[in-house]
Amino acid sequence: MKAVLQEKFRATFGREPAIIVRAPGRIEFIGNHTDYNGGPVLGAAIDRGVWVALAPRTDGVWQLASAQKDGVVRLRGGDLTKHSGATSWVNYPLGVIDALRAFGLGVPPGFDYFAGSDLPLGAGLSSSAAIELASALALTRAAGAEPARDVLVKACRHAENHFVGVPCGILDQGVSGFGRRNHLVFIDCRGPRFEVVPLPEGVHFWIFNTHTKHALVDGLYAARHRECMEAARVLGVGLLVEAPLGALAAAAGRLAPVAEKRARHIIEEIGRVDATVRALRAGDLTSVGRLLTASHRSSQMLFENSTPELDFLVDTLVATPHVFGARLTGGGFGGAVMAMTSAAFSPALAAGVAAAYEQTFGARPDILHTLTADGAQVL
């Protein structure tokens, strides 16, 4: 991929890139929507991601191009006007520039920028965080700075929240920034605090991308955020991470039924994340698998961010040999399911799951067998 990106950069800008950065996509392992509620979450950086090649300019012009889009977006340096339509992808690097400045970090006055990806889009693997981390690392390195990794992660989340306009937590950027091969990233989102948890040998991840997406996904994500904040307000806490499970019974009659369901999912999901860390440290993959599947059932019934397609895949996968557990990964409302399997789970078994899905829904999901990988890095 590095050689391909260099070639495309040369073809687009007529010179060599000075910096090449790769940032991985991520699997949300467990902790669905817990992050913006202050809770813990586990994720895995994967061996697919977004690549950014960059070379500084001296004329104060920003030129941005992408392997996934035609043409070059040419801007006068400092123009942070938000884009729409075919060029809306530049909101990610522009949002990063805006955030870096807000964090007191410099960027080069001018640059040529080219982004490429081997990460399947729309699969709940957080291509947005990957392009943010890759952009931030390339831009700060080009400006001669090496900010602490947690600062970069926080700046990229700021870009997503305040420029792109998605009220995400720190999970996506944190995993892309702090990933380590053969480990999961544990994030205590209250700090945030980042650490890695060893992944027992023999674990494989399979992603089944349905290519389905609820037409109102952005609004539904924001609605879940509002519902959680309202539940916290009624429970008298700043964030749901501060509420014990017993608080729901104590608030009976004051908490709307929908808010109660959302809060129950978050509070119980926080417990599942903690239990998963303990099971991982004990090497108990059977218990980890049960917790993953229980997480999906809660997303399905309480948080209501699953879909019939995702539910079908989980039902089929957990009934298939060599699967420890399965759950939706990412924000939900479509997208993908992750299965944690042993090495004995084969492409033939994966194809059987896909065939059953196709027979039911008339379309075949994409299948991605992925490994863990290191976080964002200059190559």
Kindly indicate the confidence band of residue 248, based on its pLDDT and cuts at 50, 70 and 90.
very high
Q: Which is catalytic among the residues 172, 218, 311, 366? A: 172
Share of the chain above pLDDT 70, in %: 98
pLDDT at 22 over 70: yes
The pLDDT value recorded for residue 252 is 86
Q: Regarding the domain delimited by 2-198, which CATH topology (the fold level of the hierarchy) does it fall under?
A: Ribosomal Protein S5; domain 2 (3.30.230)
Reply yes or no on whether 172 is catalytic: yes
Count how many Cα atoms sit within 13 Å of the Cα of residue 222 in the half-sphere of its side chain: 7
The pLDDT value recorded for residue 214 is 66
Q: For the residues 316-329, what does the mean pLDDT come to?
A: 97
The pLDDT value recorded for residue 126 is 78
pLDDT at 330 over 90: no
- Mean pLDDT across the chain, nearest whole number? 93
The pLDDT value recorded for residue 200 is 87
pLDDT at 204 over 70: yes
Q: Regarding the domain delimited by 204-370, which CATH topology (the fold level of the hierarchy) does it fall under?
A: Alpha-Beta Plaits (3.30.70)
Q: Write the pLDDT tens digit of every residue in 269-296.
A: 999 999 999 999 999 999 999 999 999 9
Q: Which of 152, 203, 164, 167 is nearest to 42 (CA)?
A: 203
Residue 212 neighbours by CB under 8 Å, 6+ apart? 307, 309, 334, 335
Kindly indicate the confidence band of residue 217, based on its pLDDT and cuts at 50, 70 and 90.
low
**Can you give the residue ranges of every domain in the chain?**
2-198, 204-370
The pLDDT value recorded for residue 123 is 60
Please determine whether the domains at 2-198 and 204-370 fall in the same fold group of CATH.
Answer: no
Q: Are 328 and 309 within 8 A, CB to CB?
A: no
352 phi/psi in degrees, rounded to 5: -65, -40
Kindly indicate the confidence band of residue 122, based on its pLDDT and cuts at 50, 70 and 90.
low
DSSP class of 121: T
The pLDDT value recorded for residue 2 is 87
pLDDT higher at 231 or 121: 231
76 phi/psi in degrees, rounded to 5: -75, 130
The pLDDT value recorded for residue 245 is 85
Which pair of tokens denotes residue 329? 């990964």
